[in-house]
């Protein structure tokens, strides 16, 4: 009882200090003119991956002067962990007041905390983003000051947009056989449309994030959903399998913009104390997409043909574009002037090359020298822009040099790749004898594992919360204020073992049930437990990555999405030939055994060496940051 009392007391004191600090900052921001847009802390880190051109440990040096120049940039990095998890206790808290002073000020401010700060609207002529004049919801200086109704409106809209990419990937699954017949192609070739769709979803988010740093979030949404609708319409009127695959690949890359910047839009509007609930609502969109789209796709394909399913997703994309046009203002506080930075960098490089000391001559001797220098500056500038926009985002793979990151991403990728192997198997196995179901029924067969995902996502988080509190109390980890101190390794207890054992056994059971042509209930029950077990692993991996990399959590999540979507692409391609060669039973037995060995090996390694790896990784990153 005494420990719980001390813990609650410490948390109460922290809450008082946080409210005091937030209240004072709100008073300042409300009095600032609209020009304060350029002075607000940057929250692009919550969605944007790293864009560096050096070694991964030099990523942080580029922003070193800014991080030491103001506390705002440090706070911007800390919001990353809140974007992906509400349990990130690895980030240190910096306070500028003593406990007594903050408590005194909190009592003075407490009477005004219940009053919603009035949002200061940006003048119509100064609003940012593509077609900003058409937005009914006005852009404001501080998005935190939106009313709760407007915050939930923005959050709901981004969640709906987030459902587009997974809907597009799964809406054609029940109709793959019909598509194969239309184009007179083999099922393996048709499966390439799904595989390359997933591959584009792994790469394009990195580029969308890079573009959003300069163009803003609203512009990215409008451009990407216009392309999404266009490419889906072209997919619907495809005249060859080659055209169909290419258009599907491009549509997946267009819809992946929300995967890159959606979480950042939510983080722009909600402070850390309320962001967890908002993030939960946001992620319901990507979860609901795969739940609904196979059913819709199956019904449309069976009654109106497979092209109608693509027209449906095209209309959905147009509706989302219209909603974004009228209801989604720009929420990014500060854009990154990449063009100006690239030009300054090019001028400095040319000056060093010409003079050797980095100083330009005050009065050049020849006009020809000026012309040559100008051409060199422009050439280097455009190359620097291309490198930062397209090449640098891919360098997040350098984080794989850290064992803790590499192992968690590896196991997540095996799980995600198996998920898409299962998707292809369901379509192939149940559309052929002895089952022989039509497109509508096949669409319904994807429901059990989707229900498993939803149940695990709703109750799994609370379960892990209890486990972390239990382990921290058992170890007696308290800070000086009596708060519990959590470690990422606390998340890998019975939940990790259950998840690592449940989905491999479920996938093995599914394989032999289908091979033996047992009653339909058998494989569907197995798929339900596969959904529960795999979602436990997905949630565990994502949260641990944010806690292993608290200052660069978005980079860890982006890396996870990048690698696991590549594995899903590979799984989609190889499943059909492997089923034809060895059958569902032996295929998923092999996958299940590999998953069991990998899962328990990763858990053992993380529990045995995780603390050492985390400390070593933190030390190397802190040395690079100069902290």
Are 247 and 142 within one domain?
Answer: yes
d(CA 29, CA 38): 12
d(CA 351, CA 369): 12
Are 566 and 435 within one domain?
Answer: yes
Within-domain flag for 111: no
Q: What is the pLDDT of residue 334?
A: 72
d(CA 87, CA 94): 18
**Cβ atoms < 10 Å from Cβ of 416:** 24
Domain boundary among 316, 336, 356: 336
Q: What is the pLDDT of residue 27?
A: 42
Q: Which of 201, 313, 247 minimizes the C-alpha distance to 561? A: 201
Q: What is the CA radius of gyration of the chain?
A: 26
Within-domain flag for 168: yes
d(CA 314, CA 225): 10
Q: 318 to each of 211, 250, 315, how far by Cα in Å?
A: 22, 16, 5
Are 231 and 366 within one domain?
Answer: no
Are 378 and 293 within one domain?
Answer: no
Distance, first Cα to last Cα, the chain:
38
Q: Is 599 exposed, middle or buried (0-12, 13-18, 19+ CB in 10 A)?
A: buried
Quote the tokens at residue 159. 């969640």
Higher pLDDT, 46 or 498: 498
> Does 342 have pLDDT greater than 80?
no
Long-range contact list for 517-523, CB < 8 A, 24+ apart? 517/434, 517/435, 520/430, 520/435, 520/445
Q: What is the pLDDT of residue 504?
A: 97
Q: How many CA atoms lie within 13 A of 108 on its CB side?
A: 10
> Does 110 have pLDDT greater than 70?
no
Are 380 and 420 within one domain?
Answer: no
Q: Taking the alpha carbons of 53, 59, 61, 62 in that order, is the dihedral positive or negative?
A: positive
What's the DSSP call for residue 390? I
pLDDT class of 26 with cuts at 50, 70, 90:
very low
Q: Is 140 helix (H, G, I), strand (E, B) or coil?
A: strand
d(CA 620, CA 627): 10
Higher pLDDT, 5 or 610: 610
Within-domain flag for 118: no
> Does 578 have pLDDT greater than 70?
yes
Phi–psi pair at 385, nearest 5 degrees: -65, -45
Average of per-residue pLDDT across 589-603: 95
Q: What is the pLDDT of residue 623?
A: 58
> Does 337 have pLDDT greater than 80?
no
Q: Is 414 helix (H, G, I), strand (E, B) or coil?
A: helix
**How open is the CA angle 614-620-621, to the nearest 5 degrees?**
90
What's the DSSP call for residue 387? I
Average of per-residue pLDDT across 39-43: 36
Residue pLDDT, tens place only, 161-182: 999 999 998 999 999 999 999 9
Q: Full-prediction pTM beyond 0.85?
A: no
Are 169 and 312 within one domain?
Answer: yes
Q: Which of 48-62, 241-255, 383-397, 510-524 has the lowest mean pLDDT?
A: 48-62
Q: What is the pLDDT of residue 349?
A: 67
What's the DSSP call for residue 41? P
Q: Would you give the distance in Å from CA 603 to the centre of its chain?
A: 24
Q: What is the pLDDT of residue 584?
A: 96
pLDDT class of 560 with cuts at 50, 70, 90:
confident
Phi–psi pair at 478, nearest 5 degrees: -130, 145
d(CA 544, CA 556): 9
What's the DSSP call for residue 184? T
Domain boundary among 291, 312, 336: 336
Residue pLDDT, tens place only, 273-324: 667 678 777 877 887 788 889 999 999 999 999 999 999 999 999 999 999 9
d(CA 585, CA 573): 18
Q: Is 365 helix (H, G, I), strand (E, B) or coil?
A: coil
Within-domain flag for 36: no
Residue pLDDT, tens place only, 518-544: 999 999 999 999 999 998 898 888 777
Within-domain flag for 17: no
Phi–psi pair at 140, nearest 5 degrees: -125, 160
Q: What is the pLDDT of residue 32?
A: 40
Are 360 and 501 within one domain?
Answer: no
Are the C-beta atoms of residues 569 and 196 closer than 8 Å to each other? yes
**How open is the CA angle 617-623-627, to the nearest 5 degrees?**
115
Q: How many CA atoms lie within 13 A of 72 on its CB side?
A: 13
Residues of 163-201 as b/e, b for ≥16 C-beta within 10 angstroms? bbbbbbbbbbbbbbbbbbebbebebbbbbbbbbbbbbbb
Are the C-beta atoms of residues 162 and 221 closer than 8 Å to each other? no
Q: What is the CATH number of the domain that holds 609?
A: 1.20.1250
Within-domain flag for 605: yes
Q: Which of 16-30, 31-45, 192-206, 220-234 has the lowest mean pLDDT?
A: 31-45
Q: Would you give the distance in Å from CA 506 to the centre of its chain?
A: 27
Are 461 and 573 within one domain?
Answer: yes
Domain boundary among 306, 336, 366: 336
> Does 407 have pLDDT greater than 70?
yes
d(CA 370, CA 375): 9
Q: What is the pLDDT of residue 388?
A: 74
pLDDT class of 37 with cuts at 50, 70, 90:
very low
> Does 381 have pLDDT greater than 80?
no
Q: What does pLDDT average to over the chain?
A: 77
Number of domains in the chain: 3
Quote the tokens at residue 74. 């440090």
**140 has which bridge partners?**
121
d(CA 598, CA 411): 7
Within-domain flag for 324: yes
Are 513 and 571 within one domain?
Answer: yes
Q: Which of 30-39, 217-226, 384-393, 410-419 has the lowest mean pLDDT?
A: 30-39
Are 177 and 194 within one domain?
Answer: yes
Within-domain flag for 33: no
Q: What is the pLDDT of residue 621?
A: 67
**Cβ atoms < 10 Å from Cβ of 515:** 19
The highest-confidence range among 103-117, 343-357, 471-485, by mean pLDDT, is: 471-485
What's the DSSP call for residue 331? -
**Cβ atoms < 10 Å from Cβ of 356:** 8
Are 607 and 462 within one domain?
Answer: yes
d(CA 328, CA 85): 24
Are 285 and 210 within one domain?
Answer: yes
Q: What is the pLDDT of residue 395?
A: 80
Q: What is the pLDDT of residue 134?
A: 92
**How open is the CA angle 538-543-544, to the nearest 5 degrees?**
100
d(CA 349, CA 357): 10
HEC readout, 314-364: HHHHHHHHHHHHHHCCCCCCCCCCHHHHHHHHHHHHHHHHHHCCCCCCCCC
Average of per-residue pLDDT across 556-577: 89
Note down the domain range covering 351. 344-389
Q: What is the CATH number of the domain that holds 149?
A: 1.20.1250.20
Average of per-residue pLDDT across 215-221: 90
């Amino acid at each position: 009882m005494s420990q719980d009392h001390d813990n609650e007391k410490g948390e109460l004191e922290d809450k008082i200090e946080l409210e005091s600090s937030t209240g004072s900052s709100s008073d300042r921001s409300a009095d600032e003119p609209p020009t304060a847009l350029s002075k607000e802390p940057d929250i692009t880190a919550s969605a944007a991956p790293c864009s560096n051109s050096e070694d991964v440990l030099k990523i942080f040096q580029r922003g070193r002067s800014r991080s030491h120049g103001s506390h705002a940039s440090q706070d911007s990095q800390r919001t990353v962990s809140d974007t992906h998890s509400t349990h990130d206790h690895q980030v240190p808290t910096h306070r500028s007041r003593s406990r007594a002073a903050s408590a005194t000020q909190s009592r003075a401010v407490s009477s005004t905390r219940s009053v919603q700060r009035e949002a200061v609207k940006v003048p119509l002529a100064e609003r940012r983003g593509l077609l900003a004049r058409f937005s009914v919801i006005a852009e404001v200086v501080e998005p935190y000051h939106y009313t709760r109704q407007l915050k939930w409106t923005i959050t709901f809209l981004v969640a709906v947009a987030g459902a587009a990419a997974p809907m597009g990937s799964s809406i054609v699954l029940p109709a793959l056989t019909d598509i194969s017949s239309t184009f007179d192609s083999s099922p393996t070739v048709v499966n390439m449309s799904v595989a390359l769709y997933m591959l584009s979803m792994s790469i394009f988010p990195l580029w969308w994030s890079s573009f959003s740093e300069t163009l803003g979030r609203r512009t990215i949404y409008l451009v990407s959903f216009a392309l999404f609708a266009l490419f889906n319409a072209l997919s619907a009127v495809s005249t060859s399998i080659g055209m169909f695959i290419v258009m599907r690949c491009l549509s997946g890359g267009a819809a992946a913009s929300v995967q890159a910047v959606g979480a950042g839009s939510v983080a722009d509007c909600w402070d850390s104390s309320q962001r967890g609930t908002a993030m939960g609502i946001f992620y319901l969109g990507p979860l609901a997409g795969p739940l609904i789209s196979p059913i819709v796709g199956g019904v449309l394909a069976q009654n109106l043909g497979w092209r109608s399913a693509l027209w449906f997703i095209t209309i959905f994309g147009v509706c989302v574009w219209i909603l974004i046009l009228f209801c989604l203002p720009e929420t990014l506080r500060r854009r990154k002037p990449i063009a100006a930075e690239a030009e300054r960098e090019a001028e400095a490089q040319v000056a060093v090359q010409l003079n050797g000391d980095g100083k330009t001559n005050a009065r050049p001797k020849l006009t020809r020298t000026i012309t040559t220098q100008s051409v060199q500056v422009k050439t280097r500038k455009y190359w620097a822009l291309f490198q930062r926009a397209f090449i640098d985002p891919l360098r997040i793979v350098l984080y794989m040099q850290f064992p803790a990151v590499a192992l968690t991403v590896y196991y997540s990728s095996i799980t995600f790749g198996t998920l898409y192997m299962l998707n292809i198997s369901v379509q192939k196995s149940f559309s052929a004898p002895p089952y022989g179901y039509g497109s509508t029924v096949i669409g319904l067969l994807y429901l059990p594992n989707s229900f498993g995902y939803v149940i695990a996502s709703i109750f799994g988080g609370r379960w892990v919360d209890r486990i972390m509190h239990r382990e921290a109390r058992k170890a007696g980890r308290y800070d000086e204020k009596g708060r519990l101190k959590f470690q990422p390794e606390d998340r890998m207890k019975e939940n990790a073992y259950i998840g690592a054992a449940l989905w491999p056994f479920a996938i093995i059971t599914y394989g032999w049930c289908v091979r033996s042509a047992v009653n339909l209930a058998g494989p569907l029950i197995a798929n339900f437990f596969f959904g529960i077990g795999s979602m436990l692993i997905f949630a565990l991996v994502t949260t641990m990555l944010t806690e292993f990399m608290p200052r660069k959590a978005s980079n860890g999540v982006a890396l996870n999405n990048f690698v696991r979507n590549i594995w899903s692409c590979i799984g989609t391609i190889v499943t059909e030939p492997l089923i034809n060669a060895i059958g569902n039973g032996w295929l998923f037995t092999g996958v299940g055994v590999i998953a069991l060995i990998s899962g328990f090996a990763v858990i053992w390694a993380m529990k045995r060496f995780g603390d050492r790896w985390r400390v070593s990784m933190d030390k190397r990153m802190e040395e690079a940051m100069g902290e």
